[in-house]
């Protein structure tokens, strides 16, 4: 077993207020771990020893990406420490988080998986960097993006602006597109969103309100905050289906086998254990569309979250320990073989000398 059973944990003060620390510490103790909160203003080596670094550094990483010097210094210090202390298990790796924070990179990673073979897809997308309506139209055409489409901030975490989006219905309003952004075809899904929460090998899902069905039109672009549209119990004019549209899907349960396939594939593709996946079901084809992936989502209401989290962590610690033991055994055997070989060589040399 590792020389210590301490979990170093960090998340912002705002997020920490939502954590049930008593329950968290109780479950940690059940699995033989001690939990403590890291002070990011104090070098990590001064807070040793610890076996696991569990964190939600998404906001700080996002700020660092945007050039904030203090955030850059904090992340640099943490990564420098972890590059030396490679025996520390990190949940989740910082380099993996970086690629997830960029929506364009995130969608490309989903597209590169084999989910499409099962009819699971991410809607067509492209990255818009020009304010020219003509250039934008060319990009949309090349990426086969249909109207209406959603403009999303490239940075998917780290600030309120990450949730500020816009629906564009026609070519006349392309000038509205905020630059830079990711444009993604809008998929009609009868105002139902499924949020899948991944905790290592475990997962669960909830149904949330979502945008109603929209079609190409001469409407003005619509600005909205996705966090408000899809929060539990949201009641917004943008959530309400038109009277002439069927609402029968409210009583139809999604295919959990498809969700399992999504979970397994996304977890492997991103190399992470704490993920949230936003999925909608296209109302005309019944195909499942992944429209966003988030790091360490809010697990409010997740049954036995800390239990699943500690099972995930303990499995990693156990696996790391077994690998370390195997490596030690192989090294010991190698030393034994070398010693035995040296002994035989010495004996042969002695016999040769005696014969002479």
For residue 235, the domain's CATH number is: 3.30.470.20
Do 219 and 179 share a domain, yes or no? Answer: yes
Query: What confidence tens digit (pLDDT) does each residue in 341-350 have?
Result: 444 343 344 3
Q: Is residue 273 part of a domain?
A: yes
Distance CA 159, CA 6 (A): 31
Do 108 and 88 share a domain, yes or no? Answer: no
Domain span including residue 66: 6-92+306-321
Q: What pLDDT shows up at residue 322?
A: 85
Query: What confidence tens digit (pLDDT) does each residue in 17-41 have?
Result: 889 999 999 999 999 999 999 999 9
Do 274 and 141 share a domain, yes or no? Answer: yes
Q: What pLDDT shows up at residue 249?
A: 58
Contact residues for 319 (Cβ-Cβ < 8 A; gap 6+): none
Do 38 and 149 share a domain, yes or no? Answer: no
Do 64 and 23 share a domain, yes or no? Answer: yes
pLDDT (tens place) for every residue of the chain, 356 residues total: 445 799 999 999 988 888 999 999 999 999 999 999 999 999 999 999 999 999 999 999 999 999 999 999 999 999 999 999 999 999 999 999 998 999 999 999 999 999 999 999 999 999 999 999 999 999 999 999 999 999 999 998 777 789 999 999 999 999 999 999 999 999 999 999 999 999 999 999 999 999 999 999 999 999 999 999 998 888 899 999 998 886 555 567 899 999 999 999 999 999 999 999 999 999 999 999 999 999 999 998 899 999 999 999 999 999 988 876 666 566 555 555 544 444 434 334 433 333 33
Q: At what angle do helices 305-355 and 21-30 cross, to 10 degrees?
A: 30
With 0-12 / 13-18 / 19 or more C-beta atoms within 10 angstroms meaning exposed / middle / buried, residue 113 is middle
Q: Is residue 246 part of a domain?
A: yes
Q: What is the mean pLDDT of the chain?
A: 89
Do 57 and 106 share a domain, yes or no? Answer: no
Question: DSSP 3-state assignment of 45?
Answer: helix
Q: What pLDDT shows up at residue 335?
A: 54
pTM of the shown model = 0.89
Residues 321 and 210: beta-carbon distance below 8 Å:
no
């Amino acid at each position: 077993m590792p020389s210590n059973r301490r979990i170093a944990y960090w998340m912002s003060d705002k997020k920490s207020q939502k954590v049930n620390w008593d329950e968290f510490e109780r479950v940690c103790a059940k699995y033989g771990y001690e939990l403590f909160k890291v002070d990011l203003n104090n070098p990590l080596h001064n807070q040793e020893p610890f076996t696991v670094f569990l964190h939600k550094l998404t906001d700080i990483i996002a700020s660092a990406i945007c050039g904030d010097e203090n955030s850059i210094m904090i992340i640099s210090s943490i990564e420098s420490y972890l590059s030396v202390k490679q025996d520390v298990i990190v949940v989740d790796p910082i380099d993996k988080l970086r690629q997830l924070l960029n929506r364009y990179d995130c969608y490309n990673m989903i597209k590169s998986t084999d989910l499409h073979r099962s009819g699971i897809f991410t809607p067509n997308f492209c990255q818009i960097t020009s304010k020219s309506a003509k250039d934008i139209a060319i990009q949309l055409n090349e990426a086969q993006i249909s109207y209406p489409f959603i403009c999303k901030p490239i940075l998917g975490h780290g600030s309120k602006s990450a949730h500020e989006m816009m629906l564009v219905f026609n070519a006349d309003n392309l000038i509205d597109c905020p630059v830079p952004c990711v444009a993604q075809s809008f998929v009609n899904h009868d105002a139902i969103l499924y949020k899948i929460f991944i905790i290592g090998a475990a997962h669960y899902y909830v149904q949330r309100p979502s945008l109603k069905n929209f079609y190409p039109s001469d409407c003005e672009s619509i600005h909205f905050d996705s966090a408000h549209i899809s929060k539990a119990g949201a009641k917004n004019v943008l959530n309400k289906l038109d009277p002439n549209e069927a609402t029968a899907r409210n009583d139809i349960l999604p295919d959990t086998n498809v969700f399992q396939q999504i979970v397994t594939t996304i977890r492997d593709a991103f190399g992470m254990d704490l993920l949230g996946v936003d999925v909608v079901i296209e109302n005309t084809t019944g195909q499942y569309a992944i429209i966003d992936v988030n790091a360490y989502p809010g697990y409010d209401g997740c049954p036995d979250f800390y239990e699943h989290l500690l099972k995930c962590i303990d499995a990693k610690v156990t696996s790391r320990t077994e690998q370390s033991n195997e490596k030690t055994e192989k090294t010991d055997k190698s030393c034994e073989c070398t010693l035995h070989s040296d002994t035989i060589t010495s004996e042969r040399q002695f016999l040769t000398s005696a014969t002479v």
